[in-house]
Amino acid sequence: MKHVFKLMASLVIGLLFFEKVVAQDTIPMSFQEAVQLGLSQNIDYLKLLNQQEVLKVERLNAQFNHLPRVNLSNDNFRQIGQQFQQVEGELIVTNEINNIISGRINANMPIFNGFRRTNDTKAGRNLEDAGKFGIERAKQEVMFNIAQQYLQVLLDEELYNIALENLENQKKQLEQIEGFVEAGLRTLSDLYNQRSEVARLEAVAIDAKIQWESDLWDLAEMLQLGPNILPKPEQVSLEKLESEWLGMGLGELYAIALGQRKDYGQLMLLESANKNLLASAKSAYLPQLNAFFNYSTFFTSLDDRTFSNQFFTIFPQRSFGVSLSVPIFNNFENRASVARSRVDFQNQQLDKLALERRITQEVKMAYENYRGAIRRESATRVQLEAAEEAQTVIAERFRLGVSNFVDLAQANQQLVTAQSDFAQAQYTLYFQELMLKFALGVL
């Protein structure tokens, strides 16, 4: 009774679950299409693209800092009250309303600032390139995560198909046993045991279907599909090919990873950028030499002459020259800036060393797991062939009345286990190859 109750509960849960899925739209989707869709919808990846625009503008800003700064300003105001005027050597004070218009053009250009502009330009270029590397690695991470979920869905579908095939075979076996019982060749206990086995396999098939649908929903969420839309992943080729990585030693693989990993290249560029920023901060210790040019003029309503005559002819003034600034004491602001830049540079070096160690660990683990997956795929292939042979022989012996039901049930179970193990081994091998490529930075 407990077994029957468990079966009925599983059927009810499965029906309730599938009612929600019936109305869903499915979209056939290849792995490449899933990756493209995932990249277009991934929030973190899109944020990196937006941040890259900022890095580009900051790099342009550092380059344009080599050019003069030019500013134009204008003031328009009214003075009400005492106005001072000098007329024929006398200072006359009157209570007037004075309308004033003034204008100024200022230009400044650094001649020498301790190579700050050069270092800022190099830092801006390195930061922009580091951002591009970060985008490439983020793209690989999105691809890897989608591949993992994509393959899991395909594996779930394969396991569900195996469960259905096993269920159909056991139903046919049940029909044969019913015929044997009617003919007096088998006992009722064999019939009841087979019915129980068929009921159990129906529950197993429902569980496999639920797992498949659940992982399919996770893939849809990862791809940010709309409501009531599910992807329908296309099958991938699981044909085992000779891998070029197996003929290489770990030393060669480490070298490939250090040369190809975009996150490592990003940290190297960030280290260079922080080194440039440290040199830029140290430039504040040196004298600063700047050239300048100023042009100013104004118009006043106290003067009876025309606006054009005052503004463009009488009152314009020009000044130009160079200014020298020598830092002597500035409350340790320069020292604090240099200290912060030095710590950023040192921390970046530590991050690079930590990543180097992590890369060697990831490459070694991925390589060993890949080799293990190859051996497991070969072993499960032999296991499947042996299980198929054993099930065929025992099924024939059972039909002839030589073997009992326990032997047949055990052979059937071993066959299903071998089929499931082989399917998992195939997808695991495919995934481990992707994992190795991801660790090497060539995905």
pLDDT tens by residue, 89-100: 666 667 778 888
CATH architecture of the domain 2-41+113-286+332-440 equals Up-down Bundle (1.20)
Binned at pLDDT 50, 70 and 90, residue 142 comes out as very high
Per-residue burial over 96-128, b if 16 or more Cβ lie within 10 Å, else e, is eebeebbbeebeeebeebbbbbbbbbbbbbbbb
Q: Is the pLDDT of residue 240 over 50?
A: yes
Max Cα separation, the chain?
143
Q: Is the pLDDT of residue 13 over 70?
A: no
Per mean pLDDT, which of 25-34, 177-186, 432-441 is the most reliable?
Answer: 432-441
Q: In this predicted structure, what is the pLDDT of residue 88? A: 57
Mean pLDDT (the chain) is: 86
Give the DSSP H/E element, type plus range, for residue 218. Answer: helix 188-222
What residues contact residue 30 under an 8 Å CB cut-off, 6+ apart? Answer: 233, 234
Q: In this predicted structure, what is the pLDDT of residue 143? A: 92
pLDDT tens by residue, 328-357: 888 888 899 999 999 999 999 999 999 999
Query: Of residues 134 and 88, which shows the higher confidence score?
Result: 134
Percent of the chain past pLDDT 90, that is, above it, reads: 47
Lowest mean pLDDT among 17-21, 201-205, 355-359: 17-21
Q: In this predicted structure, what is the pLDDT of residue 17? A: 43
Q: In this predicted structure, what is the pLDDT of residue 400? A: 77
Q: Is the pLDDT of residue 124 over 50?
A: yes
Q: In this predicted structure, what is the pLDDT of residue 24? A: 61
Q: In this predicted structure, what is the pLDDT of residue 15? A: 44
Query: Of residues 193 and 362, which shows the higher confidence score?
Result: 362
pLDDT tens by residue, 56-72: 999 999 999 889 999 99
Amino acid at 234: E
Q: Is the pLDDT of residue 416 over 90?
A: no
Q: In this predicted structure, what is the pLDDT of residue 7? A: 46
Q: Is the pLDDT of residue 10 over 70?
A: no
pLDDT tens by residue, 111-120: 988 888 999 9
Measured from the Cβ of residue 328, the count of other Cβ atoms closer than 10 Å reads 5
The average pLDDT across 179-207 equals 84
Q: In this predicted structure, what is the pLDDT of residue 284? A: 87
Lowest mean pLDDT among 14-28, 108-122, 292-306, 358-372: 14-28
Query: Of residues 406 and 34, which shows the higher confidence score?
Result: 34
- Strand 229-233 versus strand 25-29 pairing type: parallel
Looking at the whole model, is its pTM more than 0.85? no
Q: In this predicted structure, what is the pLDDT of residue 236? A: 83
- Cβ atoms of 52 and 138 within 8 Å: the answer is no
Percent of the chain past pLDDT 70, that is, above it, reads: 91
Question: CA-CA distance, 271 to 259, in Å (whole number)?
Answer: 16
The single residue listed with the structure tokens 């030393």 is 251
Q: Is the pLDDT of residue 5 over 60?
A: no
Q: Is the pLDDT of residue 126 over 90?
A: yes
Q: In this predicted structure, what is the pLDDT of residue 8? A: 47
Give long-range contacts, CB 8 A cutoff, 24+ apart: 137-141: 137/261, 137/262, 137/263, 137/266, 137/441, 138/44, 138/45, 138/48, 139/39, 139/45, 140/262, 140/438, 140/441, 140/443
Binned at pLDDT 50, 70 and 90, residue 304 comes out as confident
